[in-house]
């Protein structure tokens, strides 16, 4: 009988395994693997007349495309060609490099001698594989990057002497593993750096969201099933934006930031109490909504489209409490200047939905109704994963506890202030979301009620909500990546500096003005560019391929283009409204945005009911844009009156004028590409080339013009 290995033998075994892992992850070996894989990938994708046929999967090669380019992306990240492979910014760079390589790889397959063809589905599969690989690596590097770096780094030549014990009464510079970070000694990133981090991670998330929409629109198209799915998906997301990352977060973050600054232990008890209360409230609300929907289904569920819509809503309502809690946990992370994990949480939702939708996309019969249920279940799974990711990222910042009676007594005042703010904030900060809900209610009238109103034909049809939903996703892309990023990063900074709001020259005024300049610098060209490329953008992303029913019809694409143009008129306005509203909340003022929001919602509803008759679903989009413009004017004027100084001063006007000039040059460049270049036939390839040319030339023109005008915002966003 052999003796059991002792501690020394186990230590030797662990050391041997560590050395093997370091050898396998050596930079030269990773680089060689990337080069060999790239050569093999190019040979495989360009092999003459290579075809694959497996069973009833009409495009089995799409799965190979997805896997092959996902592997290419992972090896590109690991090769260290773009920087340290365990840093999130290296992963984001790899995403764009791999996307460009995929485009070149696909386009060169059109060489006649190869006997191959260039296909949209192939490139979308390549892009999806790249996005999935990027998201997977980000999910590892964001929470575990530092630990992996330490574990895989070469052993030091000589051991570092242990630090001397700290004198009595002093706090050690570095705490033991698992201890909480000291907010007083935690470095605070700059506004531009935080916006860049949040924006880059959100960009990856939005690209994945766009891939999710491309997959689902191919399955549902502009049909009644698409409208039902869009409505069911929009309702829990409305609660997420209002309760999780919207109203409750806006009411909670100022109190939590103040407590964390002065008494971290009390702040942890406050966070534990708030998260538990939100989970109980939204859970109870879920039960009430489910019972109400069940009653409606039993009473008025005879129509198939109506019954499908109600069942999908019932399936997705449990997603609401999970995603609300995850969003509030993200707000806590942002208070601790941890923007990357909260921005990465939607990545999990997109990955789960894509994974559930792909099997229906590659089969000969997409089965849209079954796909809708499968996607709904995947969304529920993603809610649990988002909570797990947030708790993992918060493990060094918050120790969850059950407050006892004395702790509850100490938290009475912060809880009361949070609750007093919460109600008004629901309307004040959720104007865009509530306006979108009004749009959904008006658009779903033909499905939920019927095709007529008071004996008159209703101007919308069962397909209107699908068209509205997917067009909303396109205008929300730049808003979510940049506009929300600026407002999200600025809010904790404003909350911490709210004491000097009256001076007009302190940190509060400086932060707000820099936020305004960044919002204009990003939002104005986004608006101009979106309006110019809208027709090609909709056709490239949503039009069904020739000879296929997967996607929008030609008429549906034209309707979606008009909706997108109407929404796109106010992209820059939506960004500013987020900023103005948070400036009021940072001062503890929830009544002013509430009053403005009430008038905004009333005006939006009236314009909805008026404009749908001449413009159909585009009238809903135009109403949202018009009332948003009125809201930003009202909020900026009221903020100036309240603070006693102008948020437009301090170089904002000068920066805005330069931004307008650069945007005008962008418009000229894009129009030149669209009008002067002979594009040939009106096909998908033509639309894609024109869209790509317009976007690339527009971005280059705006960047060069900003550099020529010496825009400080450009330097802030690109510098380290």
Q: Is residue 212 part of a domain?
A: yes
The rounded Cα 53 to chain-centroid distance in angstroms is 37
- Final residue before a domain boundary, out of 123, 148, 173: 148
Token pair recorded at residue 97: 């490099």
Token pair recorded at residue 59: 């495009």
pLDDT of residue 166: 42
Q: Is residue 177 part of a domain?
A: no
Between CA 538 and CA 441 the distance in angstroms is 24
Same domain as 279, residue 137 = no
Q: Is residue 11 part of a domain?
A: no
Q: Which residues contact 606 (CB under 8 A, 6 or more apart)?
A: none
Q: Which residues contact 267 (CB under 8 A, 6 or more apart)?
A: 256, 259, 260
- Final residue before a domain boundary, out of 93, 114, 148: 148
pLDDT of residue 508: 83
Between CA 200 and CA 202 the distance in angstroms is 5
pLDDT of residue 595: 86
Same domain as 220, residue 108 = no
Residue 411 has pLDDT above 90, yes or no: no
Q: Among residues of the chain, what percentage have pLDDT more than 90?
A: 16
pLDDT of residue 706: 92
Residue 458 has pLDDT above 80, yes or no: yes
Closest Cα to residue 439, out of 308, 311, 625? 625
* Comparison of pLDDT for 397 and 613, the residue scoring more: 613
Between CA 362 and CA 366 the distance in angstroms is 8
pLDDT of residue 253: 76
Supply the range of the domain harboring residue 75: 18-148
HSE-CB of 438 using CA atoms within 13 angstroms = 22
Same domain as 414, residue 552 = yes
Between CA 632 and CA 569 the distance in angstroms is 14
Residues facing 552 on adjacent strands: 543
pLDDT of residue 670: 94
Q: Is residue 259 part of a domain?
A: yes
Same domain as 360, residue 260 = yes
Same domain as 490, residue 566 = yes
Same domain as 252, residue 135 = no
Token pair recorded at residue 691: 């869209």
- With H, G, I as helix, E, B as strand and everything else as coil, classify residue 457: strand
Query: What is the overall mean pLDDT for the chain?
Result: 78
Closest Cα to residue 352, out of 453, 205, 241, 547? 205
Mean pLDDT, to the nearest integer, of 298-312? 83
Closest Cα to residue 127, out of 93, 99, 107? 99
Closest Cα to residue 239, out of 226, 251, 248, 229? 248
* Comparison of pLDDT for 152 and 661, the residue scoring more: 661
Same domain as 98, residue 30 = yes
pLDDT of residue 10: 53
Residue 566 has pLDDT above 90, yes or no: yes
pLDDT of residue 632: 92
Same domain as 461, residue 400 = yes
User: Which contacts qualify for 99-105: CB closer than 8 Å, 24 or more apart?
Assistant: 99/127, 99/130, 101/72, 102/69, 102/126, 102/127, 102/130, 103/692, 105/41, 105/42, 105/45
Kindly indicate the confidence band of residue 182, based on its pLDDT and cuts at 50, 70 and 90. Answer: very low
Q: Is residue 531 part of a domain?
A: yes
3-state DSSP helix/strand/coil % of the chain, to nearest 5: 75, 0, 20
Kindly indicate the confidence band of residue 425, based on its pLDDT and cuts at 50, 70 and 90. Answer: low
- Final residue before a domain boundary, out of 92, 117, 148: 148
Q: Which residues contact 360 (CB under 8 A, 6 or more apart)?
A: 219, 366, 367, 368, 370, 371, 374
Mean pLDDT, to the nearest integer, of 496-507? 72
Same domain as 239, residue 108 = no
CA dihedral 409, 411, 414, 415 (to 10 degrees): -80
Q: Which residues contact 704 (CB under 8 A, 6 or more apart)?
A: none
Q: Is residue 179 part of a domain?
A: no
Same domain as 378, residue 258 = yes
pLDDT of residue 25: 59
Element housing 351 (H / E): helix 339-362
Q: Which residue has the tokens 């198939």?
A: 304
Q: Is residue 163 part of a domain?
A: no
Q: Is residue 166 part of a domain?
A: no
Same domain as 337, residue 232 = yes
Query: How many domains does the chain fold into?
Result: 2
Residues facing 359 on adjacent strands: none
Same domain as 364, residue 452 = yes
Find the DSSP H helices in 79-119. Answer: 88-107
Residue 230 has pLDDT above 50, yes or no: yes
Token pair recorded at residue 710: 């010496």
């Amino acid at each position: 009988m052999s003796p059991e290995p002792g501690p020394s033998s186990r230590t030797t075994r662990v050391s041997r395994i560590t050395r093997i892992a370091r050898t396998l992850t050596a930079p030269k070996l990773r680089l060689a693997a990337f080069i060999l894989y790239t050569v093999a990938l190019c040979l495989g994708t360009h092999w003459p007349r290579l075809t694959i046929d497996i069973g009833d999967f009409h495009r089995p090669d799409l799965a190979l495309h997805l896997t092959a380019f996902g592997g290419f992306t992972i090896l590109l990240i690991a090769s260290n060609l773009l920087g340290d492979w365990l840093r999130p910014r290296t992963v984001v760079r790899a995403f764009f490099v791999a996307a460009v390589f995929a485009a070149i790889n696909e386009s060169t397959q059109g060489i006649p001698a190869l006997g191959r063809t260039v296909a949209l589905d192939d490139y979308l599969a390549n892009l999806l594989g790249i996005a999935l690989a990027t998201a997977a690596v980000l999910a590892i590097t964001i929470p575990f990057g530092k630990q992996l770096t330490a574990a895989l780094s070469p052993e030091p030549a000589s051991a570092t002497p242990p630090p001397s014990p700290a004198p009595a009464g002093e706090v050690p510079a570095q705490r033991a593993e698992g201890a909480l970070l000291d907010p007083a000694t935690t470095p605070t990133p700059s506004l531009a750096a935080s916006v860049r981090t949040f924006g880059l991670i959100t960009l990856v998330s939005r690209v994945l969201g766009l891939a999710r929409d491309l997959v689902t629109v191919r399955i549902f198209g502009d049909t009644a099933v698409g409208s039902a799915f869009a409505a069911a998906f929009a309702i829990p997301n409305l609660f997420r934006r209002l309760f999780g990352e919207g109203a409750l977060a806006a009411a909670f973050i100022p109190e939590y930031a103040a407590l964390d600054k002065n008494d971290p232990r009390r702040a942890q008890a406050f966070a534990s109490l708030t998260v538990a209360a939100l989970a109980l409230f939204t859970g109870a609300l879920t039960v009430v909504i489910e019972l109400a929907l069940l009653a409606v289904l039993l009473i008025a569920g005879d129509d198939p489209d109506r019954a499908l819509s109600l069942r999908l809503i019932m399936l997705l309502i449990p997603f609401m409490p999970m995603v609300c809690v995850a969003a509030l946990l993200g707000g806590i992370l942002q208070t601790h200047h941890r923007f990357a994990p909260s921005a990465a949480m939607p990545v999990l939702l997109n990955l789960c939905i894509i994974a559930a939708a792909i099997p229906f996309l590659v089969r000969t019969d997409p089965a849209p109704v079954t796909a809708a249920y499968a996607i709904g279940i995947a969304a529920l799974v993603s809610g649990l994963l988002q909570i797990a990711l947030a708790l993992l990222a918060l493990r060094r910042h918050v120790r969850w506890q059950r407050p006892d009676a004395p702790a509850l007594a100490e938290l009475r005042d912060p809880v009361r202030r949070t609750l007093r703010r919460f109600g008004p904030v629901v309307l004040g900060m959720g104007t865009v979301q509530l306006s979108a809900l009004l749009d959904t209610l008006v658009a779903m009238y033909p499905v939920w009620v019927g095709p007529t109103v008071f004996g008159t034909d209703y101007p919308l049809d069962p397909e209107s909500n699908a068209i509205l939903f997917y067009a909303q996703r396109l205008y929300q892309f730049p808003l979510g990546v940049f506009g929300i990023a600026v407002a999200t990063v600025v809010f904790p900074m404003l909350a911490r500096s709210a004491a000097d709001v009256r001076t007009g020259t302190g940190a509060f005024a400086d932060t707000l003005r820099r936020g305004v300049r960044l919002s204009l610098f990003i939002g104005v060209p986004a608006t101009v560019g979106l309006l110019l490329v809208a027709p090609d953008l909709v056709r490239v992303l949503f039009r069904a391929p020739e000879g296929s029913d997967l996607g929008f019809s030609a008429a549906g694409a034209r309707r979606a283009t008009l909706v997108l143009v109407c929404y796109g008129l106010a992209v820059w306005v939506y960004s500013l409204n987020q900023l103005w509203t948070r400036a009021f909340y940072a001062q503890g003022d929830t009544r002013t945005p509430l009053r403005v929001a009430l008038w905004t919602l009333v005006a939006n509803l009236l314009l909805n009911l008026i404009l749908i008759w001449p413009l159909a679903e585009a009238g809903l989009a135009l109403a949202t844009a018009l009332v948003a413009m009125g809201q930003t004017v009202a909020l900026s004027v009221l903020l100036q009156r309240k603070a006693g100084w102008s948020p437009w001063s301090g170089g904002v006007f000068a920066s805005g004028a330069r931004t307008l000039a650069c945007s005008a040059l962008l418009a000229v460049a894009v129009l030149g590409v669209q009008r002067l270049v002979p594009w040939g036939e009106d096909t998908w390839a033509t639309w894609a080339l024109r869209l790509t040319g317009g976007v690339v030339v527009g971005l280059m023109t705006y960047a060069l013009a900003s550099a020529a005008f010496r825009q400080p915002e450009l330097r802030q966003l690109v510098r380290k």
